[in-house]
Amino acid sequence: MRIVIMGQAAFGAEVLETLTDRGEEVVAAWLPQDKPGGKPDPLGVAAYSRKIPVYQPESYKSPDVLREFRALKPDLLIMAFVTGIIPLSLVESPSQGAICYHPSLLPRHRGGSAINWALIMGDKETGLSIFWPDAGIDTGPVLLRKRVPIGPEDTTGSLYFESLFPLGVEAIAESVALIKAGRAPRLVQDEGLATYEPLCNDKVAGIDWERPAEEVHNLIRGCDPQPGAYSYYKGRKVRFYEARRMDADSGARPGEVTAADEVGFTVAARGGAIRIGKVRTEEGKQDAAAFAAKAGLKPGDSFTAA
């Protein structure tokens, strides 16, 4: 079966390497154009190392791109970490269609920040879906799902790199085997269970310390490592990482620093507090304790919304 991989980054590269190592015929890799002065994309590097043709079109909407794609005579398109909109004419070109990786249990958490929102919304379980893309955003029928529990200290980074990344690579390989065997299902998504959230960026990453401590904790870990949930100290934006929830209610006002020592610092929220391990400012990322010492942060000081 002639396979085209479309994607980017380490995930796309791992998918290509895994499939070729298992004897699958990968005939091309399609990926975004490299940024001027930036490092080559890992998927492109992996493809070049295995003498697999690489395509990096400026736009996928060009008729010439569609002709190039069809000339490969693909049987299956695998979309492994695709962030752009791919025309349906291209998706429907392979004889067996296309499959796409999405890091949530579809139809829950459609959109480009699925892992972030599973944490922000306090889900106790997430997972991944391999689905057959259609004209909608993450709306096509599902081929398979894999479930992953969310631990109390998980972050977007830990969930992705420790669970959803390796499990996703294996799920794609399993999907290829099902398609080759003619046993790949197409399970229609239940629209009554569907959710769609926007991209997780600074529009949603600002901390409201008046919210319950559990919600603040979920926001911080859902924005870790990107974009970094933030608050302000003396007008300076500070992003928080490696948060630990403290259940004891100190009685301090929301946003008030209740402790600052060699381990980090603690900030009160409603009904509890949050211990911060690392921060990021315009100076870069550093231990919270080092930031507190340099900034003169002490109990009684406050973080604010602006």
Question: Does domain 2-193 fall into CATH 3.40.50.170?
Answer: yes
- Domain segments of the chain: what residues? 2-193, 213-295
- The predicted-structure confidence for 64-73, as pLDDT tens digits, reads as follows 999 999 999 9
Dihedral of the alpha carbons of 212, 213, 217, 220, in degrees to the nearest 10 = 70
Q: Is the pTM value of this prediction over 0.85?
A: yes
- The predicted-structure confidence for 111-151, as pLDDT tens digits, reads as follows 999 999 999 999 999 999 999 999 999 999 999 999 999 99
The residues near 206 (Cβ < 8 Å, ≥ 6 apart) are 229, 230, 231, 305
Judge whether residue 251 has pLDDT over 90.
no
Once rounded to an integer, what is the mean pLDDT over residues 89-106? 98
- The pLDDT score that the predictor gives to residue 84 is 86
Strand partners, 147: 127
CB 305 within 8 Å of CB 232:
yes
Q: Are 2-193 and 213-295 in the same CATH fold?
A: no
- Superfamily designation of domain 213-295: Formyl transferase, C-terminal domain (3.10.25.10)
